[in-house]
Homo-oligomer: A and B are copies of this chain.
Amino acid sequence: MTASQKIWTAGLVIIGDEILSGRTQDKNIAQVASWLQVQGIRLAEVRVVPDVQDKIVEAVNTLRAENDYLFTTGGIGPTHDDITVDAVAEALGVEVVIHPTARAILEKYYADKGGITEGRLRMARVPEGAELIPNRMSGAPGIRRGNVILMAGVPHITAGMLDALTGELEGGAPLVSETVGCWVAESEVADLLREVEAAHEACQIGSYPFFRDGTVGANFVIRSTDKDALQSCMHTLCEGLGEKGYDFTPGGI
């Protein structure tokens, strides 16, 4: 395996009682995952943990040991339940310090909004040695310390931070995919899928069934870091579906 074939991976820890209570529908898994794909980094695991320091520390340490990058979302705001910085500093074995640039950003942002308070100053706290990730949406920046990246939990602020990180992280060949949809019960083509995948080592095939307008169908998604293998696998699968007499829709239904 050459260096260019290394598969880069990331773990994601989502911090928030509001997700675990069902109050808030998570939107960050999908947007972080999609963004990572484009960076050539694969999302390997996600853990959603409560606002409990020990739980965050454990999840952060496990997933950063197993992956090239570790992302968190949530818990970096001004209130008492925002403990991500403390937990990550504990996980990394460093102190929590006030970042002078973050402090200056917050002082400027809140200058005409009542000024800095103890709560607001919490958002300038970082694990020692960290850099800031710009936040164009609201005052408080994200935080990066080496391969550990702390982002906001509010999805449109998270999106802005991801945008600021675009092209900043080393990754590998992006995982590319092809989709073919078919109005067929996936159980009818299970054997075909297994055979085609087995014949194309560099590819994985996922099968995603759906019900629409009273009819069953499925999209078959082939994924690979090897574009030629992907095309070959797609060709074989479509040929197989055609031979069995099914209409199929490249690109998916």
Contacts and interface: CB of A to CB of B under 8 A. Distances in A.
Interface in A72-91: 77-81
Given A21-B175, A22-B36, A78-B190, 15 more contacts: A17-B204, A17-B206, A19-B29, A19-B30, A20-B42, A20-B44, A21-B223, A23-B177, A24-B208, A25-B27, A26-B26, A46-B46, A79-B186, A119-B188, A138-B211
Interface stretch (A141-149, A191-199, A235-243): A191-199
Interface of A: 17-27, 29-37, 42-51, 55, 77-81, 110, 113-114, 117-120, 122-123, 137-138, 154, 156, 175, 177, 185-191, 193-194, 197, 204-211, 216, 221, 223
Overall SS of chain A's interface: mixed
27 contacts: A20-B44, A20-B45, A21-B37, A21-B175, A21-B223, A22-B30, A22-B31, A22-B34, A23-B208, A23-B221, A25-B29, A44-B50, A45-B55, A47-B47, A47-B48, A51-B206, A77-B186, A78-B187, A79-B194, A80-B205, A81-B205, A117-B187, A117-B188, A119-B187, A119-B190, A154-B209, A154-B210
Contacts of A18: 206, 208, 221
B26 A206 contact: no
**Number of copies of this protein chain within its complex:** 2
